[in-house]
Amino acid sequence: MITLSARALITGAFTIALSTPVGGALAACATPVDPPSPQTQKDLQQSMRGEAYANASYRLYAAQAQRENLPSVARLFERTADVELGEHFREAAELSGLVGGDAENLRAAVAGETYESRQMYPGFARQAKADGDNKAAARFSEAARDEGRHARAFGTALSAVESGQGTVPKPPKADAVQVPQGPPEVHARQTRTDLDTAMHGEALAYAKYRQYAEHAKDPAVAKLFRGTSDVELHEHFAGEAKLAGLVGSTHANLTKAIAGEQYESRTMYPALAKRAEAAGDTRAAERFSNNAEDEAGHARAFQQALDRLPEQNSTQS
């Protein structure tokens, strides 16, 4: 996966406050049966953000490997993405009490989408326009409008769930964006930072909404969360990733992935495990330690794939 320190290698600058409700209010999530300490809870949130971002990024790297006729590398990225989301994110979500009942999850989604549509994305759009990054300004403005619609749909669903009357809206459909290898399409430092923040928020929203959908009692609510999650990943994250120049050659993508996985396995997760153990959060400490071992294995697998790349791919920048 790709985390706080390693992300700077990918986007040039990484600025995000864990308490900022990007993509949904984490603070509104359900309390686990045995709630972890405040520091461990913060560390679990950091882990979830990183795992969600890694899942989203590796999906794009897999598509690029397919374009380069490297199916084995594409499968490696896809399998690793599955682990980041299906194991690491899922287990951290369980420990943190991320998922509540349908009403609670919808309420959290409304809060996050409202923040993005009214504050985050409009602010990003104004700054990008002022800096001359008009493509980014347009993308941010479009995302703000989308998130406003998502907030209203989730609000309508919440009213239906709480009152037992009314209809849950149909899920939106994603206008998928393809993200081939390419340079950044923005130039301002602040725009790059804002794109990075937005991508992490969209990846997190996707992962959260998938969890909400999986645990939803109302099938219509599950469909709404799944449809919205697809928009967050395939339209918003992908569109922002294209502007940011996230995808390079497979050689470059593997190199970035190795750096991220090594950082997590050697530095981040061992530190999180040590803090959790000191706080008496044994389950979290064990989870963080297991993640460190997994990420070390991912780094080795990516390195082996890099070493086996054909010469023409290795020479691409």
Q: Which domains, and CATH codes, for the chain?
A: 4-314 (1.20.1260.10)
The amino acid at 196: D
Helices and strands (H and E) in the chain: how many: 14, 0
Confidence of residue 150 (pLDDT cuts 50, 70, 90): very high
Which of 116, 282, 294 shows the shortest CA–CA distance to 205? Answer: 116
Confidence of residue 3 (pLDDT cuts 50, 70, 90): very low
**pLDDT of 189 over the 60 cut:** yes
Average pLDDT, the chain: 91
**pLDDT of 159 over the 60 cut:** yes
Mean pLDDT check: name the lowest of 59-73, 148-162, 300-314: 300-314
Query: What is the pTM (predicted TM-score) of this model?
Result: 0.89
Q: Angle at the Cα of 17 (from 13 to 20), degrees rounded to 5?
A: 130
What pLDDT score was predicted for residue 310? 86
% helix / strand / coil in the chain, to the nearest 5? 75, 0, 25
The amino acid at 146: D
What pLDDT score was predicted for residue 311? 72
